[in-house]
């Protein structure tokens, strides 16, 4: 089915675009539109999956960020006539990328939207593992006064390898460096002057690092990138932090590395699958802390940040100009 054009250059759009979005977003977005933009678009909100699925085929612009009923993934699939799909979600996992690419749809996601928030969470994980704050909290719940600290690992003078040195990875590095940690990043293109190594170098250097931090995208290339060989190659007593996706780590191999004592601990904000079943052996692995994919939601500014970006892009869209932060649908991220 043909997609309606957004127009070219600064010419006036013949079609008044319909924006479909969660009802809870509608009033705040209307306030941001102002009188001029409000006259050029139509906003329709949904509160249920049924409403979302009924509105989706009519949308010119779809913003389906509602997790109830799986709307966030089902809405884009049903938005067959949309010119533009927007989300604050970073990963591509939930979206019908092949279908969107075939339709020629524009896709703007949340890449780079909250790197500071996720970086804060990752570094919280490092501090938790270093001082075993999880054990302190459990003692508190038992009303037990600990006689000695459960964790005495010091940050200063340690070395961290950050696999995935994009916006999030760089924010993590800045925070760790403030604690006296020496940071090496990993990305596709090496840059020795910035202490960044290439994707083909990091495996041979794993034994150098006290911290292995994963913030890479979930792609065919990164799936299970941390497997038995990589875990065995890590420094004895190293600590693993994953704020990316669970698929990047071979979980059975990780369990074995923790049970053997080769790794001192793991802070996992993400797992496979999610939610992790209550009987999964990962829950019982020693020295692991699972935080239920909370790094992104651990903020209250997502809508404000996402709406500000959306408003800039809406003005571009109405003017027929290229949008900002457009995801490349020919890649996995």
The per-residue b/e assignment along 7-36, b for 16 or more CB within 10 angstroms, e otherwise, is beeeeebeeebbbbbbeebbeebeeebeee
The per-residue b/e assignment along 177-195, b for 16 or more CB within 10 angstroms, e otherwise, is eebebbbbbbbeebeeeee
1-to-100, 102, 103, 108, 198 alpha-carbon distances in Å: 12, 10, 8, 21, 42
Q: Answer whether 289's CB lies under 8 Å from 134's CB.
A: yes
Cα gap 268→291, rounded to integer Å: 6
Examine the residue annotation and report whether 140 is marked as an active-site residue of this protein: no
- How many other C-beta atoms are found inside a 10 Å radius of the C-beta of residue 99? 14
Residues 6+ apart with CB under 8 A from 102: none
End-to-end, the C-alpha distance of the chain in Å comes to 26
| Identified catalytic residue from 293, 305, 316, 325 | 293
Residues 6+ apart with CB under 8 A from 310: 29, 63, 86, 108
Examine the residue annotation and report whether 58 is marked as an active-site residue of this protein: no
| Identified catalytic residue from 274, 312, 324, 331 | 274
Residues 6+ apart with CB under 8 A from 243: 118, 121, 122, 125, 168, 213, 214, 215, 269, 270, 295
Neighbour order of strands in the sheet with 84-86:
42-46, 18-22, 61-63, 84-86, 106-108
Cα gap 309→323, rounded to integer Å: 10
- How many other C-beta atoms are found inside a 10 Å radius of the C-beta of residue 75? 29
Q: Which of 118, 119, 117, 89 is nearest to 327 (CA)?
A: 89
Examine the residue annotation and report whether 175 is marked as an active-site residue of this protein: no
- Active-site positions read 245, 274, 293
């Amino acid at each position: 089915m043909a997609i309606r054009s957004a127009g070219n250059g600064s010419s006036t759009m013949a079609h008044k675009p319909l924006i479909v979005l969660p009802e809870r977003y509608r009033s705040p977005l209307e306030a941001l539109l102002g009188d001029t933009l409000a006259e050029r678009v139509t906003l329709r909100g949904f509160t249920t999956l049924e409403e979302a699925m009924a509105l989706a085929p009519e949308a010119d612009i779809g913003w389906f960020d509602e997790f109830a009923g799986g709307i966030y993934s089902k809405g884009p699939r049903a938005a067959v006539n949309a010119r533009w799909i927007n989300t604050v979600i970073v990963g591509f996992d939930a979206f019908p990328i092949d279908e969107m690419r075939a339709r020629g749809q524009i896709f703007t996601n949340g890449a780079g939207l909250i790197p500071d928030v996720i970086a804060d969470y990752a570094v919280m994980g490092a501090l938790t593992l270093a001082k075993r704050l999880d054990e302190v909290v459990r003692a508190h719940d038992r009303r037990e006064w600990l006689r000695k600290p459960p964790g005495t690992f010091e940050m200063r003078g340690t070395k961290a390898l950050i696999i995935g040195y994009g916006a999030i990875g760089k924010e993590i590095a800045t925070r760790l460096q403030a604690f006296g940690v020496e940071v090496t990043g990993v990305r596709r293109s090496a840059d020795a002057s910035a202490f960044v190594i290439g994707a083909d170098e990091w495996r041979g250097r794993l034994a150098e690092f006290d911290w292995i931090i994963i913030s890479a995208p979930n792609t065919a290339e990164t799936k299970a990138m941390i497997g038995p060989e990589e875990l065995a190659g890590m420094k004895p007593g190293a600590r693993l932090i994953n704020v990316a996706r669970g698929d990047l780590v071979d979980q059975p191999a990780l369990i074995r590395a923790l049970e053997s004592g080769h790794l001192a601990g793991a802070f996992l904000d993400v797992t496979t699958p999610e939610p992790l079943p209550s009987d999964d052996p990962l829950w019982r692995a020693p020295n692991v802390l699972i935080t239920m994919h909370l790094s992104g939601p651990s903020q209250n500014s997502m809508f404000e940040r996402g709406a500000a970006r959306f408003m800039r892009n809406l003005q571009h869209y109405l003017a027929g100009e290229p949008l900002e932060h457009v995801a490349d649908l020919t890649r996995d991220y």
